[in-house]
A = this chain, B = another copy of it.
Amino acid sequence: MKVLFHVNKSAHWKTALGNILNMLQYGEENSMLFEIELVANGPAVKELQPSAAKSAGIYDQLERFATALRICACNNSLVANGITPSMLLPFIQVVPAGVVEIAVRQLNGYAYIKP
């Protein structure tokens, strides 16, 4: 099952990562495979930098999820926030436009969840 999580506010990170943890645990317990992608845009891209992730209390969970899901940052949002890709956690993938990524994924069978 393919699922896309959309995070566009810094305040939504903890809820989103908690949601994903629940989904992964359900998958393990029920032998279901979830292909999860998280797309961050807007100010939420800031927490994808190591120090900001630590301040927000999500660094450990992001690290733990690094191999279990695909975590993407919107490049337009990075530019708007003065962040270059090299400033991000090493496992973050940069997509040119977060909203395009979100739309393309849905049209390719991903469910959409906005935490």
Contacts and interface: CB of A to CB of B under 8 A. Distances in A.
Interface in A53-77: 74, 76
Interface residues of A, number: 32
A98 B25 CA distance: 12
A22 B76 contact: yes
Interface of A: 1, 3, 6, 8, 15, 19-20, 22-23, 25-26, 34, 41-42, 74, 76, 96-100, 102-104, 106-107, 109, 111-115
A73 to B, nearest CB: 13
Nearest to A20: B99
B106 A111 contact: yes
A26 B107 contact: no
A19 B99 contact: yes
B103 A113 contact: yes
Contacts of A104: 1, 111
